[in-house]
Chain A
Amino acid sequence: MKQMIYVMLLFTSSTLFFSCNKTESEIEKDYLDDQVANLKTLKDEKWIVVLPGLGCKGCIQEAEAFMSKNINNKQIFFVLTKVESIKLLQQKTGIQINDHQNIYIDNENHFEIPSENGIYPLIIQLDNKKIKNYEFQSPKNGMAFSKLDDRLGSI
């Protein structure tokens, strides 16, 4: 009986200890899984591009250029989060937001990633509405949108 209690204590303590120490990518993945599952307007798109209105300026400009070029691509769903101004975004991208059903305006900042990567645009690859992979366009990963452009071109 005593041994059983010690085993249980050890198991509980291990679980509690490790629950406090998730890695950054685990935190991001868990969070994004929930947000993607709640994205009601998602159809059969293969990619989600999350474009923050605030953050890394150069990275966001890359994302805006990508969105301008690919807005009519039915494989991509765009999420606009932390939007400061739809009016100015429309002007920069040349896109009338309301004309496109593959855009979701995230007014409640559900897609504000709870990590330091929240300042970067995000590319999510989907498989049957589940996250298969994701990466950020950041100074350390400056080719993310170019790579996606290439992949879309080859499909």
Chain B
Amino acid sequence: MYRNFFLITLLVTVLTQSCKNERAGVSNDGKGPFLTTYQLEIVGEKQFPLDNKTAPRPAYLQYYNDKASGDTQLSFLNYATRMIYIYNYENGMIRDTISLNKNSLKSFRSLSAYYIKSPDSLYIFDDVGQKAALLNSKLEIQDSISLIGKMNAAMLEWTLQYPQYFFSAAAPILEQNGKLILTGMYPWAIPDSVLGTFKLNSVLDINSQSVSYLNNYPKRLYGKEFEWDDPFFTSAFSDFGHQPNQLVLSFPISHDLYISDLRSGKMEKVFAGSPDAKTITSIGKKPAGDKTYKEKLTKSIINTDLYGAIKFDKYRNVYYRFLRKSLPEGNTEKNWKNKLLSVIVMDPSFNYLGETTLGILKEWNWENSFVTEAGLNIEYTDQKANNEDVLTFKIFKPKKKI
């Protein structure tokens, strides 16, 4: 009798474990206090009319102060038509377009981002050639800059040494002290052999057009123990911090933020998580020949809390951190865009001030978010109206709870 019981227990254990791929997890060690004193409230909306070649959810955008006119402007890239559209942010009227279809720019085959420094100084970025160019107002190339040193972009060896960039307003091109900061990533499971040498951030010196590199992936998050094998887990999002020379990095799988000193490259971590976020567990690297990995990966993305962009709001002196919230256990959801998006608000010491759930990711495009004097702008798509002729941002401000 006992022998049979033992055999059954042993078999059930072996068999259930054979279906699992247990990996380590990143636990939520936040101690709080998690008192909700502020909540985000919608205080306004901005709309920008689109032409017939352009749809909402543009791949890259830049909000900036135009030094010539003194106006604030919103620009974005339609990468299919290679056009940059520039709008007056205040009144939503289009001001200008820049076509990057000149023959002299054809070697920049896949434009992924741009940076308008001034009317006579436009940087463009090519994610196939892994290079940038500085253009003048006539769109003539003033400098061409490799982002992978002397390595050949066609040979994949460079991917073990230099970051790849999935530019968005959540991983934007930032400017400070005559330098452009680009935050990249190693998109797949980073080999332990390069974990100590691979740098995430590139620093492009505007005067010399030289590029240097900063900041490794934290070993305690991305070491062999975990092996996150998808950009959903390996992306990095960034913004400048509240003090000079601070770059704040948000990794999807970490309840902490990492604060880098741009002069020394030293990083410090600080807890900046949600009290509701659970342990974030890796499903491990894709085993060779495992044809079920995609299914497991989708489930993992849906069932895991994943952090997103970090934004510092200099007008209100608070940080916003986005969180793609896990769906409850036992859900049958197949579309990760039905996950809920929330925004955590923190003071400059990263003390928790509150968290507001906005809605599903289909509606709220957190990757197109930016801060203006009016508040935190987040792209909104009304799923019922399905209006593709206008780009809409809802504007939020933190309001003290009474």
Contact = CB atoms under 8 A, between A and B. Distances in A.
Q: Answer yes or no: do A and B interact.
A: yes
Interface of A: 2, 5, 9, 12-13, 16-17, 19-20, 22-24, 27, 84-88, 91, 107-110, 112, 114-116, 118
Interface stretch (B4-12, B218-226, B228-236, B371-379): B4-12
Given A17-B18, A114-B298, A22 B292 contact: yes
Interface residues of B, number: 27
Interface of chain B: mostly helix, strand, loop or mixed: loop
B294 A118 contact: yes
A9 B8 contact: yes
Contact of B4 (A5, A22, A24, A86): A5
A114 B295 contact: yes
Given A9-B11, A13-B11, A88-B55, A114 B388 contact: no
Interface of B: 4, 7-8, 11, 15, 18-19, 52-53, 55-57, 80, 291-295, 298, 334-335, 337-338, 383, 386, 388-389
A contact patch SS: helix
Contacts of A87: 52, 55, 388-389
A107 B383 CA distance: 10
Contacts of A86: 386, 388
Contacts of B18: 16-17, 20
A9 B294 contact: no
A49 to B, nearest CB: 21
B388 A91 contact: no
A27 B8 CA distance: 29
Contacts of A2: 4
A16 to B, nearest CB: 4
A32 to B, nearest CB: 13
A154 B335 CA distance: 39
Contact of B55 (A12, A16, A27, A84): A84
Contacts of B298: 112, 114
A109 B334 contact: yes
